[in-house]
């Protein structure tokens, strides 16, 4: 482990037990490093949101980003375990691949899946951890719940699809993308056919929290020859039901997470 990383981790551990934080000199003495090096290290932690400096006393205090990361990990783990039976049921009903993704900052990350087809023609891609926002049903489902301005901001950061990069129906212009988003809003779910790749289709719906913010997406994906628009219409109710159940799971976990946050906040100041 590099000295800089080790010092940073030790500083976080040190500050975790100090409600009102510590001045720079005490941190330097506790870690046995020069004040100048301590100042650089703490500034780096402040820049990345792990530590904050009290404007009144100048003490360095552990910030809530550490708590946030821990709670995100715990809540996601709980959701994966609790949502698994829901995903498996939807996979059996649809006979296709069902996936759950969560919003992680500016990205949409797939965290769990269930396969409904055990043999024959099936769709089970190695799509990587992040969904391509502009040409997957999951990405479009999330974007359709945002304003056009915010949706375009996220797409610009990740990159719009280039001609020939994905499926033939992928949106390669802003106008095409906005039409896809409006269609998703009109029909209540996002759908794609040969957008991410040739021969594949998918449908998806967003999972919302109590403030109507998107926290995740559930999707059904399969071969285009099976997952037609008519088939999607037939599966819409089952997809909506699964999304509502996962939303309920997420809301049930909020009081526990809120209590945990309160306890840790009391300790970190």
| pLDDT for the residue numbered 3 | 80
List, in sequence order, every residue forming a beta bridge with 99; answer none if it has no partner.
113, 219
Q: What is the pLDDT of residues 138-195, one digit of tens each?
A: 999 999 999 999 999 999 999 898 888 899 999 999 999 999 999 999 999 999 999 9
Computed over every residue of the chain, the mean pLDDT equals 85
pLDDT band (50, 70, 90) for residue 255: very low
Farthest-apart Cα atoms in the chain, separation: 69
| pLDDT for the residue numbered 120 | 64
Cβ 24 vs Cβ 39: under 8 Å: yes
Element at 112 (helix H, strand E): strand 107-115
Taking the mean position of all CA atoms in its chain, how far away is CA 43? Answer: 28
Give CA–CA dist 211/72, Å, rounded. 17
SS3 assignment, position 166: coil
pLDDT band (50, 70, 90) for residue 96: very high
Higher pLDDT, residue 48 or 234: 234
Once rounded to an integer, what is the mean pLDDT over residues 92-111?
Answer: 90
| pLDDT for the residue numbered 67 | 62
Give CA–CA dist 65/72, Å, rounded. 10
pLDDT of 57 higher than 80: yes
Tokens at 184, concatenated: 């998703």
Query: Is there a common fold for 3-63 and 69-253?
Result: no
Percentage above 90 pLDDT, the chain: 58
Give CA–CA dist 109/107, Å, rounded. 6
| pLDDT for the residue numbered 107 | 86
Assigned CATH class of 69-253: alpha beta
Element at 120 (helix H, strand E): none
Residue that has been written with the tokens 């809530």 in this structure: 64
| pLDDT for the residue numbered 71 | 53
Q: What is the residue-wise DSSP string for 37-103?
A: HHHHHHHHHHHTTSEEE-TTT--EEE-THHHHHHHHHHHHHHHHHHHHHHHHHHHHHHSSEEEEEEE
Name the pTM for this structure: 0.67
| pLDDT for the residue numbered 74 | 53
Nearest to 28 by CA among 18, 37, 17, 19: 37
Once rounded to an integer, what is the mean pLDDT over residues 35-39?
Answer: 94
Q: Which of 20-34, 120-134, 137-151, 156-170 shows the lowest mean pLDDT across its residues? A: 120-134
SS3 assignment, position 55: coil
Q: Which CATH number fits domain 3-63: 3.40.50.10540, 1.10.10.10, 3.60.20.10, 1.10.540.10?
A: 1.10.10.10
pLDDT of 44 higher than 70: yes
Instruction: Give 207-214 contacts, CB < 8 A, sequence gap 24+.
Output: 207/243, 207/246, 207/247, 207/250, 208/145, 208/247, 209/247, 209/250, 209/251, 209/254, 210/251, 210/254, 214/103, 214/142, 214/145, 214/146
Cβ 61 vs Cβ 52: under 8 Å: yes
The vertex-264 CA angle with 258 and 268, nearest 5°, equals: 135
Segments making up each domain of the chain, as ranges: 3-63, 69-253
List, in sequence order, every residue forming a beta bridge with 222; answer none if it has no partner.
201
């Amino acid at each position: 482990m590099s000295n800089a990383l080790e010092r940073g981790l030790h500083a976080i551990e040190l500050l975790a037990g100090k409600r009102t934080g510590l001045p720079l000199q005490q941190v330097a003495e506790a870690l046995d490093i020069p004040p100048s090096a301590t100042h650089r290290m703490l500034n780096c932690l402040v820049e990345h949101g792990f530590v904050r400096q009290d404007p009144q006393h100048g003490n360095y205090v552990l910030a809530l980003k550490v708590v946030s990361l821990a709670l995100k990990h715990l809540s996601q783990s709980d959701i994966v375990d609790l949502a698994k039976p829901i995903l498996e049921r939807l996979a059996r009903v649809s006979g296709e691949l069902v996936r759950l993704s969560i919003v992680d900052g500016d990205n949409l990350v797939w965290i769990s899946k269930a396969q409904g087809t055990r043999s024959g023609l099936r769709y089970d891609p190695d799509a990587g951890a992040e969904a391509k926002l502009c040409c997957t049903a999951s990405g479009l489902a999330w974007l359709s719940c945002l304003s056009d301005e915010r949706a375009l901001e996220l797409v610009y950061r990740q990159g719009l699809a280039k001609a020939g990069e994905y499926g033939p129906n992928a949106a390669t212009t802003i106008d095409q993308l906005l039409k896809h988003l409006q269609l998703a809003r009109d029909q209540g779910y996002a759908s794609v056919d040969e957008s991410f790749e040739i021969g594949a289709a998918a449908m998806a719906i967003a999972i919302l929290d109590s403030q109507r913010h998107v926290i995740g997406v559930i999707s059904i994906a399969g071969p285009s020859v099976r997952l037609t628009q008519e088939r999607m219409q037939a599966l819409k109710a089952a997809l909506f039901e699964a999304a509502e159940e996962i939303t309920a799971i997420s809301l049930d976990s909020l009081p526990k997470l809120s209590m945990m946050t309160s306890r840790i906040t009391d300790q970190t100041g």
